[in-house]
Amino acid sequence: VRKAQDAAFVDGAVVVKSYGYFFRNWSLRSHVNSGSLLEFH
């Protein structure tokens, strides 16, 4: 049971991390598309 919980926790962390990466990518891309990259920094 302990190992299964750890595996689920790791899976959740990976999902959160990849979602965060995707969101950062999407946010950056939308800023570039709107030409407001200077505002982003």
Per-residue pLDDT of 1-41, as tens digits, reads 678 888 888 888 998 898 888 888 888 787 676 765 555 44
pLDDT at position 39 is 53
pLDDT at position 38 is 55
pLDDT at position 35 is 64
pTM score, whole prediction: 0.42
Q: Encode burial over 17-35: b for 16+ CB neighbours within 10 A, e otherwise.
A: eeeeeeeeeeeeeeeeeee
pLDDT at position 28 is 79
Residue 34's SS3 state is helix
pLDDT at position 9 is 87
